[in-house]
Amino acid sequence: MEKRAEMDIAKRLYRGIVDTMQKLETISKQRKCAKDLFQPDAISYRQRLKDHCEKLIFVGKVEYSRKAEEVLWRKCFYDVIQAFKRSRKERKDDAAAGGHYRMHLLAASGYYQHLLLRLQMEYNLKLNHVIDFGYISDIRNEDKKPKRLTELKTSEWARRACHRCLIYLGDLARYQAEYDGPRSVSLAERFYHQALNLFPEIGMPYSQLGTLSGTKYCGCEAAFYYMRCLSVPVPFNGAQKNLQRLLEKNKKRYMDLMSRERDKRQEYQRYHRPYVHKQAAHFAFLFEQL
């Protein structure tokens, strides 16, 4: 009977999620500029969608929870970030929209830290030795709280959900690096490394570290992370394309340098060799006069 009630709640939440997503899609199609992403109606629908998704994560089955988790990240946070990034001209001209965007990133970071703690609390996960902000239960009230019965499958999903939260937090810090610089870069590295501590066999954090490294050290650091990503048991497929693009870019840079060096050498031979010959002939003439 209890499972039937949970299924009914999960179905109602799922219908609410679908309905809210459709309304957000309608608003997105009507959007004319970057600041429309942060209009009160759009923010209200994203907040409603976030609430529905979080409830479904902790009420429904693992399959529902995983779907709700994906919708939560993409529709409430990631799509807004990508839409704002695409409007580059407006980003420079509209300071207010830039302020709203930074608040969006900060709110997303705060939310995922909350979600990470709640996952640990609800499923009794012991991650204090893995991440910086592990949940520490109150020993005095431990016996009074009703404990959630966690199946092995659900517990494994919860640990992987924590892993994904750490990657999202790393991504959000990486986006903030555009404004905060090295401080946010260090924070992003910290989150990605914690994700690797939790599941070393998953390559996604390595790929994100490669993206974060960019062209530092002529791309050598990024190349290391992409190759490391491809060598683990669960590689991220996108790392292969990233590595290929990086190698092609470095090859082009090398060819440009060689071409420039060849041009310099030819220029030297064109202008300096006659001068050297003239000086040698002059020296020979002076030597004969002695």
- pLDDT tens-digit profile of 264-274? 666 655 655 55
Query: Is 224 within 8 Å of 242 (Cβ atoms)?
Result: no
CA distance 222 to 46: 35
Closest CA to 164 of 192, 142, 143: 192
pLDDT band at 144 (very low <50, low <70, confident <90, very high): very low
Judged against a pLDDT cut of 90, whether residue 35 lies above it is answered with no
pLDDT band at 36 (very low <50, low <70, confident <90, very high): confident
Counting Cα atoms < 13 Å in the Cβ hemisphere of 223 gives 13
pLDDT band at 146 (very low <50, low <70, confident <90, very high): very low
**The residue type at 124:** N
What is the pLDDT averaged over residues 35-43?
88
- Residue 247 CB partners (closer than 8 Å, separation 6+): 223
Longest Cα–Cα distance of the chain, Å, equals: 119
Q: Which residue has the tokens 């994700």?
A: 195
Query: Is 97 within 8 Å of 38 (Cβ atoms)?
Result: yes
pLDDT band at 60 (very low <50, low <70, confident <90, very high): low
What is the pLDDT averaged over residues 79-102?
79
Give the Cβ contact number of residue 8 at 10 Å: 10
Q: Which string of DSSP letters, residue by residue, matches 244-269?
A: HHHHHHHHHHHHHHHHHHHHHHHHHH
Q: Which residue has the tokens 């959000």?
A: 172
- Residue 9 CB partners (closer than 8 Å, separation 6+): 55, 59, 60
Average pLDDT, the chain: 83
- Residue 228 CB partners (closer than 8 Å, separation 6+): 203, 206
Closest CA to 31 of 105, 97, 92, 93: 97
Give the Cβ contact number of residue 27 at 10 Å: 15
What is the pLDDT averaged over residues 142-157?
65
Q: Which string of DSSP letters, residue by residue, matches the chain?
A: -HHHHHHHHHHHHHHHHHHHHHHHHHHHHH--SGGGGGSHHHHHHHHHHHHHHHHHHHHS-HHHHHHHHHHHHIIIIIHHHHHHHH-HHHHHH-HHHHHHHHHHHHHHHHHHHHHHHHHHHHTT---TTTSTT-----GGGTTTSPPPP--HHHHHHHHHHHHHHHHHHHHHHHHHHHHHTHHHHHHHHHHHHHHHHH-TTB-HHHHHHHHHHTTGGGGHHHHHHHHHHHHSSB--THHHHHHHHHHHHHHHHHHHHHHHHHHHHHHHHHHHHHHHHHHHHHHHHHHHH-
Instruction: Among 51-55, 149-153, 191-195, name the one with the lowest average pLDDT.
Output: 149-153
Judged against a pLDDT cut of 90, whether residue 185 lies above it is answered with yes
